[in-house]
Amino acid sequence: MIEPNLSSNLFPKPPSNPAPSLSPNNFLTEEESIAVDQTLMPAKDKFSTRVAIYSLRVLQSMATQQSVPQPTQELGDRKPEREDGTVGAIAPDAIIEWLAQHQPPTFQTTPGLETDPAFNQFFAQLVLSALKPLNQISAQLNKPITDLTPPEIIAWFEQNVQL
């Protein structure tokens, strides 16, 4: 009989020098995928968790590279998720612009996987939709979104799963 290894770390710390697998062009690392898959959440919540982790990576990259862009279009009655001007204030246009400059290598080398404006708009909306749970996690942990980690996101979704 094979005994389970109970000392394994489900949430390994990322290396101090991010490897290519931690690039914002990769959706999730293998370790992150395994950690999400090992949860007892329904598929819908696992998907939302994956989107939130990838969105965090995109937002962190944007905040680092662009000093957190301010909204480029009217928000109407909608306020930014955060009043402090951090990643909650990123507008769809800024995400679309970032996506255009950071195409995943798979999209660049595989015929038929090129993106178009409709895909970029869809993907920007996915990233924006992740702001709601990311802002909730940020508020609950009392830390900026850009300081959140995938294990914290996974734990939050597990605690807030709707069965």
Backbone angles phi, psi at 133, to 5 degrees: -65, -35
pLDDT digits (tens, 9 = 90+) for 95-104: 888 877 776 6
Rounded to an integer, the average pLDDT of 117-121 is 82
pLDDT at 60: 85
Of the candidate ranges 3-12, 86-95, 132-141, the one whose mean pLDDT is the lowest = 3-12
Q: Identify the band that residue 106 occupies on the pLDDT scale cut at 50, 70 and 90.
A: low
pTM: 0.68
Higher pLDDT, 17 or 67: 67
156: left (phi over 0), alpha (psi -120 to 50) or beta: alpha
Annotate 103-162 with three-state secondary structure: CCHHHHHCCCCCCCHHHHHHHHHHHHHCHHHHHHHHHHHCCCHHHCCHHHHHHHHHHCCC
Of the candidate ranges 25-39, 72-86, 120-134, the one whose mean pLDDT is the lowest = 72-86
Average pLDDT, the chain: 73
Q: Identify the band that residue 21 occupies on the pLDDT scale cut at 50, 70 and 90.
A: very low
Q: Which helix (H) or strand (E) holds 9?
A: none
Rounded to an integer, the average pLDDT of 12-16 is 43
69 has pLDDT over 50: no
Task: Calculate what percentage of the chain has a pLDDT beyond 90.
Answer: 34
Higher pLDDT, 23 or 80: 23
From CA 162, how far away is CA 154, in angstroms rounded?
14
From CA 73, how far away is CA 4, in angstroms rounded?
53
